[in-house]
Amino acid sequence: MLRFLNDHTLGLAAAEPAVIPCFTIYPEPGVEQEARRCLAAGGRCVKVHLQVGGFDAADPLLDGAWGLIQHAGVPVVLHAGAVADGSGNERWCGPGPVRRLLGRFPGLRLVIAHLGAPDFEEFLRLADEQPGIWLDTAMVFTDPPYLGPAPAHLAGRLAGLAGRVVFGSDFPTVPVSYAAQVSGLAGLGIGDDWLRAVLWHNGMRLFGL
């Protein structure tokens, strides 16, 4: 499954110049070699979904892969929030596993998907403490709401993390319109410079584009 998924995403990027080459990892034998192969093939982003995969980010089987990713400086989009969607696996989610992972690989750049929903405040605290933590806004501040009430009270703290907040849409499965996500961010009232950075400049810098 791991190689199948990576061949698909890397093949998509090879066929479509606008797509950033991405791959994933999973705690199984051979994952270090698979990560090495994907990096050599031009992989520039890693996506890891702890709840769907049902595993601990700090599983020792991943040590070799994390080491390669850390050395390469490739950003990791990490779904670490325990979304109450009936899929279970909440025990692998939350800021605790992410803290354990960073304790072993402090140089990783982790982009926390959905601002870590529903653990918004805990993940913002982690971002305050760890300069390698970024946050993505996917489906959090939609107008109208999609994931539940938006944590608008955290706008001031997001303003303070301006350089490490990036726009997320949940592509390729986008359940709400881009306009709803952008208008929700604009509605926070943080300002045009912040909005431009989140929608464009921060992402370009994250991927070195």
Domain with 36, as residue range(s), is: 2-206
- Tell me, what CATH number does 178's domain have? 3.20.20.140
For the whole model, what pTM was predicted?
0.94
Residue with tokens 């072993």: 104
pLDDT-wise least confident of 36-40, 60-64, 164-168, 178-182: 178-182
Whether residue 109 contacts residue 75, with contact meaning beta carbons closer than 8 Å, is answered with yes
- From the list 20, 112, 16, 15, the residue with the least C-alpha distance to 57 is 112
CA 48, 76, 32, 104 torsion-angle sign: negative
Q: Whole-angstrom distance between the N-terminal and C-terminal Cα of the chain?
A: 30
Q: What is the pLDDT of residues 122-177, one digit of tens each?
A: 999 999 999 999 999 998 998 878 877 889 999 999 999 989 999 998 877 888 88
Residue-averaged pLDDT of the chain: 93
Chain centre distance of CA 183 = 21
Domain count, the chain: 1
